[in-house]
Amino acid sequence: MNTDNDTLHAPTPSSMMPAGRHDSELFRVYALILDGITDHVLLPGKKLTESELCRQMVCSRNTVRGALSLLAHDKIVDLQPNRGAFVHVPDLKEMQDVFNARIEMESMILNLLSDMPDLETRLQPLYAMIEREEQASDSGDRVGWNRLSNAFHVELARLIDNNVLFDIMNTLCARSSLIVAVFDAQRHEKRTINIHTHSEHREILDLLVNGKRNRVVKVMRKHLSACVERLERKYEAE
pLDDT tens per residue, range 180-206: 887 765 444 444 555 568 899 999 999
pLDDT in tens, 57-86: 999 999 999 999 999 999 999 999 999 999
The reply to whether 158 falls in a domain is: yes
The reply to whether 162 falls in a domain is: yes
Domain boundary among the residues 63, 87, 111 is at 87
Specify whether 66 is located in the same domain as 125.
no
Q: How many domains does the chain have?
A: 2
138: domain CATH number is 1.20.120.530
The reply to whether 192 falls in a domain is: yes
Q: Which residues constitute the domain of residue 72?
A: 13-87
Specify whether 30 is located in the same domain as 108.
no
pLDDT in tens, 129-171: 999 999 988 888 888 888 999 999 999 999 999 999 999 999 9
Residue 47's pLDDT is 97
Specify whether 83 is located in the same domain as 97.
no
Specify whether 106 is located in the same domain as 141.
yes
The reply to whether 165 falls in a domain is: yes
Specify whether 33 is located in the same domain as 134.
no
Specify whether 45 is located in the same domain as 66.
yes
**Predicted structure pTM score:** 0.87
DSSP state of 7: G
User: What percentage of the chain reaches a pLDDT higher than 90?
Assistant: 71
C-beta of residue 72 within 8 angstroms of C-beta of residue 78: yes
Which pairs count as long-range contacts for 121-125, CB under 8 Å and 24+ apart, including other chains? 122/159, 123/159, 123/205, 123/208, 123/209, 125/155
Domain boundary among the residues 59, 87, 115 is at 87
Residue 188's pLDDT is 44
Lowest pLDDT segment from 39-43, 44-48, 82-86, 219-223? 39-43
Over the chain, what is the mean pLDDT? 88
d(CA 189, CA 194): 14
Specify whether 110 is located in the same domain as 209.
yes
User: Positive or negative CA dihedral for 222, 197, 216, 13?
Assistant: positive
Specify whether 73 is located in the same domain as 109.
no
Residue 1's pLDDT is 56
d(CA 82, CA 89): 18
What's the mean pLDDT in 172-185?
84
Domain boundary among the residues 87, 120, 149 is at 87
